[in-house]
Structure 1
């Protein structure tokens, strides 16, 4: 709105120029006054910054704004075919800055990075002051130096006066000056009352820093949530693979594709030499083991133990013992069914429907086990290896 894009670099270049000119003017003044020791001292010290050290520094930033709700009523204030309130506010702000600070306003811009539209302006208060005059009977030209001196502007010297000025300037837009907090505090102290609390206005740089920290914290929290979500997804996927592996093993046992591993002596399953009912697309035991080692170990262990227990007791024990073995095997199969039921509760409805259909194969597994046990028991009866009659005590 005011100034060029390179206003900061231009200001720094002007300050360097002022520093050099002031140093040269000071040495010239000392030479005219024949202050040789002072000249030597100043040459060693070098040029000085063209301002007196103060708590607030040599320049000022002005922020002009109004309550954010005022900007949301454009149509009611100007009409649909008129300039927006932001444009009108910006025009008034530029006019007020130039009227009160002239060319010392080196930069002004409009921002919308906060709740309300506002104008930032930078004041570079240039002043020309006299250097100490040499004591001489013959009048000489006055030596001067250029300085940055905020107090040359009355509205910088008295901030309350600046607020009054802004209130009057923007009155045509229906705006009024903010609360006179400073005056109320002074009056309360003069009459011995507790002064009202001064409203805290965060410095722009501090607010930006806080916003940066908040955004970084939000980004970290979002990253942590994403990692936690990814971990949950992986865990759910593992559970799904586990349940699907259990189902596949159950289907393989039901179809006759998988049978008990009698050679190793350990409870487990192997692929049947000839599996007439196995669909071509059915997974192999190795594929199921790779998909979910946990699910495969659980399923093959349960079905393998049930199978071995049923056949072992059918060959060695009597009919009563074989029946008990069959019941125990059925219990093992029931445990497998319960495992499937619990695992399916973690899955979506569509998957649970598929599971329900697969669980309907469990009765077929039991019937197949009974059919395989019956020939063994019949052989034992023909060989005369039936169970001993129970002794009567």
Structure 2
């Protein structure tokens, strides 16, 4: 039922197409899917078409044989009538001309193909499969009404009907062979003679063929029980337009099935092109939306990772970059997560790195500078304090016993190296003092403090 529109009225479609006897062989080949244009046929469903609904399988052969008999019988009857009238010259002329086709020359041909169908959506809206029933109930009901309408209006002249289920929409084809018996026109004779007749193919004997609008009215009433409606009233619209002085709509004419099929295929191709363009436009819009969603979700994921301490900004990189926050433990999962986020939206990942890189600098840059300044000041103070204490120790140690002076001297030997390292860390630029040396004067006896 996909795509069905329950708010619209679906019309029953009736089309007539002219048909000549010599076209029956091609018509039959197409029916059996052995020839003709099969591009619109779903060959996997051809087995569903089934046997003819009206007429035998060899209906086309029987029709051609009957037309040959009509031709022969008409020729014999014409010669017999001329002979009775003693028209020897006319007999000689007709013998040279030979038999004539049993129909008058017309634009559409002496036979008719009938097509009965409805919109594909109407057939697809059938509820049989939903209710667990087999087949398509709408197709079956349409088929019954179509067969009864054909037999009611054309009787034995409908020599063939079939249902096609392997094309776009379910439809029924029928062939009308309009048999008629007519009198042979002849000049008035002094002596009355028997009336001569011919068997002919004459479509106008059927009101449904003679009057297109009457046929549309008829099928509209016939298929009304199925909820189908009559098609557009072209004749009434033309008459009303003429009365009002408006441009009348184009009148519908009986079209050849091949022409109608070509028009339908062209229309469907144009519709398919439009649908393809709509599909591509939808895919483009969808891709844009998905890209924006992925970008936003990537930024949010990075924000969450920075917030809970899993990600950090690499301050040593030339451009802002995200890294796992700690190197002291296994962060393979964080690395994989960062790689996955970058793959998901490179644009979003780059934007997040730039945004959080700037924020990181604003948040921690000033604090680090202040901390470094405070640390440098603290180290400088400590260096000064240690140096002052060392001076006092150097003065006091001169008054201590020799063993005590020796011990203190060993301890003081490490102080210059400590001071040197502290000065370097404080960034004061003070001259380094090598380990184990002191620039103060030594005692005259050469002893160390």
Please, what TM-score do these two structures have when normalized by structure 2?
0.44
More helix by share: 1
Q: Please say which structure displays the higher CA radius of gyration.
A: 2
Which of structures 1 and 2 has the larger relative contact order (alpha carbons within 8 angstroms, sep 6+)?
2
The TM-score with structure 1 as length reference comes to 0.50
